[in-house]
A and B are shown apart, each in its own frame.
Chain A
């Protein structure tokens, strides 16, 4: 589904060139559950933006569903993004003047879907995240967990095949965070490809495949043991069988991956 080859991106910050991504290769199969961890400034978010077609690589190639994206025009990238990729952000990014339902309808509105169809789909998706009765509420009237559920619903409304989450639990308390993780993991079980950038080791460990980045390079790419290893009390259903043949539970700091992030080590 995702093929990154030799992707490099350099930003200039305060006159200094900063390497956000350096010769990154990554391939992701449909239905995978991947967490990306690493210190601040390691290029996690840049990778996410690159995958989400929000950013263009300086060099290297990115094929999404077999389509070479770097040659596409901005218009086409925008359409591809709207139709194939759902985003979830740390700060929810809901528009305050719109109701929950209108926020969810936004991607469809941008795509020019007719109002009746929009309303139907949005209502269904809102029910799917368990907030059917909150349709008319504005973001100011919802709790953090509910806001993120609305944001998830918005990410889902175009029926994307790839869900990109940037610190989805960063602004939530423990309970709400687990709640949100539960929702997106459920989506993953239903077939969506999920990529979560996080600082939270407990959340990172739940993924079937864990990437660790340092200085723009994927230094670790391991098939984790999923949910079971991290926090036993969680009730989420076993995603672990995705990666049953994984290496022994190497801690997040273990350096068993390839140092240059060369060949991706997904065991599928």
Chain B
């Protein structure tokens, strides 16, 4: 029997049993679509994180004060350290070979006020290097001057949203604002830029690191970002950094160094595993669809006993009958898969239009994996009905005897 004839024959069968066919198609389509859509979410999250970190530029090391003595924990992001990581430490680390740029950070929240308007925002005390490391540009005015690396100057750079809140459409550069209990001159306004690494760059104020030391009355850095030179060895540099800190901290390298690559790799790992797990859970619906196919096929074999007997009388072998029944479910699953893929892609592209910031997209493996799982499930669950059909005794079948 030719393949085209088989498809045509089964197509006529579907046409004759429209309700049954539509039900099975929908079951398969839901299974395939749910695998694709759910894995798209996981993949979207992975891409989002990936993009966020890539936007930092490459070759970044982040140094936290304090050290986790036990393994397995995360970096002590908000932990306290016995010894502060000071600005002097930072400048010393900045002199290490292969460090291109440093961005020490003292962070806190402060009330920023102008006239009667005020706003409590995140306040970052840092140096000129921060703008480079985080790839920030100003929409108006200038970034912190090099002098601000060492001097407590009364100047600040506003986030775009904060500037609008305080100044509206008027120019802010050169105006004075009050941050905490100090008056500072606005020297720049950051360009419009969305969230980055969970920090809303539009709604903050950046001041010189020395000013922040006074404002928050602390010597300790919140963290220190270091940018490596091209081609520098990361592990070697980490050793150098620890050596410098040991020198300065009475023989203890009480810092934690996290590299950008390791963070990305960790997140990638977690999210890929998560996506696989989600996909596997969604694939259960394909299993359910398979069981539905088996049930309906078994009923179909019973209903079509006479037809099967006839086909055998007309020269069909048992193998041909089995192929016909397996082909029926494979055709069904293929059509259902196409429907499911179309539906899933439609929903995904719709969501992508609604939330353009979130890079929602099915992972490369999701569509073939979903279709293959569906086909295998269809094949597996129609094997029994097909075998039963193939083994049917034509004589009894045509007499309508249930044997």
Q: Which residues of A contact B (CB under 8 A)?
A: 45-46, 49, 52, 54-55, 74-75, 77-79, 81-83, 87, 89, 91, 93, 95-98, 102, 106-107, 109-112, 114-115, 154, 158
Measured CA separation A114–B4 after assembly (Å): 10
**Surface stretch bound by A, among B7-15, B99-107, B192-200:** B7-15
Q: Does B306 contact A (CB under 8 A)?
A: yes
> How does the 8 Å CB contact mask read for B1-27 relative to A, with 1 for contact and 0 for none?
110110001001101100000000000
Question: How many A-B residue contacts, CB cutoff 8 Å?
Answer: 74
B317, A75: Cβ atoms under 8 Å?
yes
State which of A49, A77, A98, A111 has its C-beta within 8 Å of the C-beta of B395: A49
Q: A45-B395, A98-B12 are in contact. Are A78 and B310 (CB under 8 A)?
A: no
The 4 A-B pairs at the shortest CB distance, nearest first, are namely: A82-B315, A78-B317, A97-B16, A107-B314
State which of B15, B311, B394 has its C-beta within 8 Å of the C-beta of A110: B311
Q: A93-B398, A97-B16, A98-B12 are in contact. Are A74 and B317 (CB under 8 A)?
A: yes
Residue in A closest to B317 when the chains form the complex, CB atoms = A78
Q: Which residues of B contact A (CB under 8 A)?
A: 1-2, 4-5, 9, 12-13, 15-16, 306-307, 309-320, 394-395, 398
Residue in B closest to A99 when the chains form the complex, CB atoms = B12
A106, B314: Cβ atoms under 8 Å?
yes
B13, A97: Cβ atoms under 8 Å?
yes
B314, A87: Cβ atoms under 8 Å?
yes
State which of A49, A55, A98, A110 has its C-beta within 8 Å of the C-beta of B316: A110
Q: A45-B395, A110-B1, A112-B2 are in contact. Are A74 and B314 (CB under 8 A)?
A: no
B313, A52: Cβ atoms under 8 Å?
yes
State which of A78, A96, A112, A114 has its C-beta within 8 Å of the C-beta of B312: A78
B316, A78: Cβ atoms under 8 Å?
yes
Q: A83-B315, A93-B310, A110-B316 are in contact. Are A54 and B394 (CB under 8 A)?
A: yes
Measured CA separation A159–B281 after assembly (Å): 56
Q: Which residues of A contact B318 (CB under 8 A)?
A: 74, 78
B13, A111: Cβ atoms under 8 Å?
no
B1, A109: Cβ atoms under 8 Å?
yes
In the complex, given contacts A107-B314, A110-B316, what are 10 additional A-B residue pairs having Cβ atoms less than 8 angstroms apart?
A74-B319, A78-B317, A78-B320, A81-B314, A96-B16, A98-B12, A109-B1, A109-B5, A110-B320, A158-B315
A93, B306: Cβ atoms under 8 Å?
yes
B139 to chain A, nearest CB (A): 71
Residue in A closest to B6 when the chains form the complex, CB atoms = A109
B12, A97: Cβ atoms under 8 Å?
yes
A79, B317: Cβ atoms under 8 Å?
yes
Residue in B closest to A80 when the chains form the complex, CB atoms = B315
Q: A54-B312, A97-B16 are in contact. Are A109 and B317 (CB under 8 A)?
A: no
